[in-house]
Amino acid sequence: MVGAAQILIEAFEARYHSTPDVARAPGRVNLIGEHTDYNLGLVLPVAIDLDCYVASAPNRLGALRIHSENLDQSREWQIEQIPGLGAARDWSDYVIGIARQLPLGRGRDVLIHSNVPLGSGLSSSAALEVATALALGWEGDLPSIELAKLARRAENEFIGLPSGIMDQYAAVFGERNAALLIDCRSLESLAVALPDDVAIVAVNTMVKHELGQSAYRRRVAECASASRDIGVESLRDARPEQLELIRDPIARRRARHVLSENQRVLDFVEASRKGDLREMGRVLVESHRSLEHDYEVTCAELDFLVYRAMEIDGTFGARMTGGGFGGCTLNLVEPEAVERFKATLGREYREKFGIQPAFYQVRPSQGAERIS
C-alpha cells in the first residue's frame, strides 16, 4: 500500500475508531487549451504526481463528520441538515457537493489529506471532489465519465462556479507518462505522449486575486453572448470569419482567444508528436499572449514569471495555467537547466514582488483509484 494512504488509515482509526476505505485522485496541470472547456473545445491537461487522499467509513451517528488534515479543521452535520449551495464557503463545500449526491446511510466519517497545493490552479478542488466520491462509495468502474460528471456537478451546482469538465476529467482519466487531449464536446480523449527530454515545471505565484471567480463567470457569459451573435450553440462551432458577427468588441476578443486556442492545442500536439520542443514552446507563449490581451485573465505576477522564464537558457516555453488571476505558470524546461531555472526565477520574483514562489517539477500520473 502507498505510504501516504497507510498513514491516513492510521490517523483515521485514531480519530474515528473504525477502518476506512481510501481513495486517491491527482491534481492536474493544463499544458494548453485554456478557457476552452466550457466552450466545448479542446484541452490538453496532465494529471500530476501530487494527490488528494480521502478516507471514509460509515458511522451510526446519523452524522457526516469531516476533517481536513491540511487545515486541521473539522465540520459536522446531522445527515438531514447537510447544508445546500455554497453554505460554508470553504473547503467543506466540495465534500458536501459530493456527499449530497450519494447515499450516506446512517452516517459517514471522512478524513482528508492532500499534497496538491490549495488554491494554486493545480485543481486541488477537483482532486478532492473525485477522491471524496470514491471514498464515499461511488460504485462504478474506473475510469468513468460518470464520475467526472458527478464531481463537476459538485462544482457547478453546489459551489456555483460554471466551470467546464477539464479538471475533473483529468483527475479521473489521467495517464502515466502522457497528456490527455480531451474533446470537451464528445468527451472523448486521446493519450498524447510527450517528448522524453523535457521537464514540466509549475511555478506558483503564491497569489490569488479576488476577482478570479466573478471574472470567470463574466468570461463564461461573454462567450455565451458571442455564440448567440454568431448563431451557434457554442464557440466550438464558430469559424474565424464569423467573429465579425459578434457585436460587442470585448466578447469578440474573448471569442478570438477561444478559436485560436483550440487551434493552438492541435498545433502543440502536432509539434509534440514530432518531438519539436521549440515549436511546442512557441505555441505556449502565444497562448499566454492571447490570455493576456484577448481573454484578459493574467496578472502582473503571471506575466512576469512567463516573460522572465523565457529569457532563461533552457526554457522552451511558458504560460499561465488554469483559470488565471494568480495560481501557477507552466514551463517546459531542459532537464539539466531546471536547477538554474528555479534559482534564477525564484530570486528575480522575490526581488520584484517580495514573495518566494514555489516550484513543482511534476510528472504525468495515473488518474483516480480506490486504494483499499
List beta partners, residue 109.
57, 65
Identity of the residue, 166 or 238, whose beta carbon is nearer to ligand GLA in the bound complex:
166
What is the nearest approach in angstroms of ligand GLA to the Cβ of residue 323?
A: 3
List beta partners, residue 76.
65
Residues at the interface with ligand GLA (CB under 6 A):
34-35, 37-38, 163-164, 166-167, 322-323
What is the nearest approach in angstroms of ligand GLA to the Cβ of residue 299?
A: 14
What is the nearest approach in angstroms of ligand GLA to the Cβ of residue 127?
A: 12
Identity of the residue, 57 or 126, whose beta carbon is nearer to ligand GLA in the bound complex:
126
Identity of the residue, 44 or 280, whose beta carbon is nearer to ligand GLA in the bound complex:
44
Known catalytic residue at 167 = yes
Contacts of 168 (CB under 8 A, 6+ apart): 126, 129, 130, 147, 148, 149, 151, 152, 155
For residue 265, the tally of other CB atoms under 10 A from its CB is 24
Identity of the residue, 68 or 163, whose beta carbon is nearer to ligand GLA in the bound complex:
163
Identity of the residue, 45 or 317, whose beta carbon is nearer to ligand GLA in the bound complex:
45
Amino acid 14 reads: A
* Cell 451517528 found at: 61
What is the nearest approach in angstroms of ligand GLA to the Cβ of residue 42?
A: 11
Identity of the residue, 164 or 364, whose beta carbon is nearer to ligand GLA in the bound complex:
164
Identity of the residue, 53 or 295, whose beta carbon is nearer to ligand GLA in the bound complex:
295
What is the nearest approach in angstroms of ligand GLA to the Cβ of residue 33?
A: 7
* Set 167, 229, 267, 294: catalytic member: 167
What is the nearest approach in angstroms of ligand GLA to the Cβ of residue 32?
A: 10
What is the nearest approach in angstroms of ligand GLA to the Cβ of residue 321?
A: 8
The catalytic site residues sit at 167
